[in-house]
């Protein structure tokens, strides 16, 4: 898995490549990943997204999924609030999603 700084991770997220940048990471999952600190509403969204059995790409912050992409559902960024750092990670993901949609 590629080790890098968090800002560089944006490009890896946009192209759904595996990476690790301190407490931020992204990887492909074949099933619903661990739920970390997600609330029940977000856990339900995660389970629904991975329910097809096709797996997807998950971005984690401190062991909690903060965004995921599945073929049937596209990108989803968790709306739940966490720490200042995890909020920064969520913003990186939003930038990456925009980058992937624009084809930058």
pLDDT digit string, tens, across residues 48-92: 999 877 799 999 999 999 999 998 889 999 999 999 999 999 999
With cut-offs at 50, 70 and 90, classify the pLDDT of residue 2.
Answer: low
Tokens matching residue 96: 């990456």
Tokens 């920064």 correspond to what residue?
88
Q: Does residue 70 or residue 2 have the better pLDDT?
A: 70
pLDDT > 90? residue 96: yes
Would you state the pLDDT for residue 90? 96
- Cα separation of 14 and 52, whole Å? 22
- E strand or H helix at 91: helix 84-102
């Amino acid at each position: 898995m590629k080790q890098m700084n968090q800002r560089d991770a944006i490009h890896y997220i946009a192209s759904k490549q595996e990476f690790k940048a301190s407490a931020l990471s992204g990887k492909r999952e074949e099933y619903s990943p661990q739920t970390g600190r997600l609330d029940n509403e977000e856990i339900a969204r995660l389970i629904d997204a991975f329910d097809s059995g096709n797996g997807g790409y998950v971005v984690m912050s401190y062991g909690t999924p903060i965004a995921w992409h599945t073929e049937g559902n596209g990108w989803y960024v968790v709306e739940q609030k966490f720490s200042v750092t995890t909020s920064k990670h969520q913003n990186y993901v939003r930038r990456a999603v925009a980058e992937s949609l624009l084809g930058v």
